[in-house]
Amino acid sequence: MIACNIKHLLQEIPQNVTLVAVSKFQPVSLILEAYSAGLVVFGESRSQEMIRKIPLLPQDIQWHFIGHLQTNKVKEVVGRAAMIQSADSVRLLHAIQREASRKGIIQDVLLQVRIAREETKYGFMPSELPGVCSLHLANTRICGLMGMATLTEDKEQVRNEFRMLRRLFETLRSGPDVDSSAFCHCSMGMSGDYQIAVEEGSTMVRIGSAIFPPRPQKP
């Protein structure tokens, strides 16, 4: 089933869009099945779960951290995740920078932007982005933006939110404060709305339930 789901998704998603398989709460056996079907980028939202899985799976897997990252968990994630998609505050960016500097590496991140109308979403307000992009972070490479649309049946609202994120991405990319060669990812779209996100210019979609069978939520 997983292989069929992946085949269907890859037929729908353009080749220039990265498919991130959201593997949180999934067992190693099913992640390996998805890997065998051709996926190499997997998303985790809990640091301890990611740390546990990494040594049990092929070493060419690229792990993306996609959940809310607390500053006290930064040490566990920096250097293990190829990309942190959820850099949502200046405080967190500075914590990532300190740990990346300590480890002597460059950590790739995406700036999470609050585009939804839901108060539960984390992220920078659009007006904050120019200032954030101008921060001096020698060991932290800002590679683009990430956003989550409102959970709603109103597809036009979802489309407008994705469109706004893409416009923000384009504006920042053409500005003086980012390295345009590195600032190339606009991560938006999940299982329920990835088609709209791709139509609006997503370069990276995060898909879980359209790939894997349902799993019970862990506390």
Q: Which domains occur in the chain, in start order?
A: 2-207 (3.20.20.10)
Q: In the 8-state DSSP scheme, what is residue 196?
A: H
pTM for this structure?
0.94
Contact by Cβ (8 Å): 137, 97: yes
Q: What is the 3-state secondary structure (H, E, C) of 4-49?
A: HHHHHHHHHCCCCCEEEEECCCCCHHHHHHHHHCCCCEEEECCHHH
End-to-end CA distance of the chain: 27
pLDDT of residue 121: 67
pLDDT of residue 136: 92
4 alpha-carbon distance from chain centroid: 24
pLDDT of residue 199: 97
Residue with tokens 């989550």: 148
pLDDT of residue 219: 47
Tens digit of pLDDT for each residue in 48-87?
A: 999 999 999 999 999 999 999 999 999 999 999 999 999 9
Tens digit of pLDDT for each residue in 162-218?
A: 999 999 999 999 998 888 899 999 999 999 999 999 999 999 999 999 999 987 555
Contact by Cβ (8 Å): 65, 44: yes
| Closest residue by Cα to residue 145 from 175, 161, 171, 168 | 168
